[in-house]
Structure 1
C-alpha cells in the first residue's frame, strides 16, 4: 500500500495551487493551513528550495466522524496535500489516510479513513 495519491500536471505553480484548492473544495475539503516550504527554508536556514506548498485539508463532517470514533486521531489531522514543482511539471499529492490509520486498532476508523482517502484521491485526480 502506498501512503499517498499523486499526479503530475502542466501549468504554472501558483495556478496549480489554486486548482488544487478548488478540487479539494469540490470534494468537501477546506484548507485550514498552508505552509510555503520554499519561503520557510529560505527564511529560517538560508537555503533555496523548489516551490513546495503543504495544504492542510479538512473535510469537517468526516473529521468529526473520525474524532467520535477515536478521540486521539486529531494528531493525524488535517490531511496533507502537497503541490511541488517537479522537472516534469507540477506534482500534486495527498496523504492516503488509511496508511497512517493502520497504526490504530480500530476497524471502523480504518474503513472511514479509506473513504476519506477516496475523496482525496478524487480531488487529486480533478486538479
Structure 2
C-alpha cells in the first residue's frame, strides 16, 4: 500500500545565499499517515479562514502554519523554519510561499498532490 504524501521545499542556507552562495534545498515530506480526522480539521481550517474578515492575514497564516507543522509534518519543521527558510516570492513551480502553504493545506484536506510531487514519486518507483 502506498500512502499519499506531499512535500515542502525549504532553503537550508539562507544566510549564505544572501552572500552569493547557491541555495541548498531541503525537501521535507508530510507524515506517512494523515488520518481522516486530520483531513477534517484541515477542511474546518479552510472554512474558518476563507473569506474571514475578522482575522488578519498574519493570524490566518499563523493558524495554517501551526496546523501544518504539527499535523501535516509531525513536528519535523517549525513555524520559524517556514517563516525564515521558504522564499516569499517562491523559487519553484509550486508558486510563492502563500501558494505553497495553501497547496499543502488543500492536500491534507483532499489528498490532491501537486504535479511536481506526482512526477517525483513516479521517478522513485
What is the TM-score normalised by the length of structure 1?
0.31
What is the TM-score normalised by the length of structure 2?
0.31
Q: Going by fraction, where is strand more abundant, 1 or 2?
A: 1
Greater RCO (CA < 8 Å, at least 6 residues apart): 1
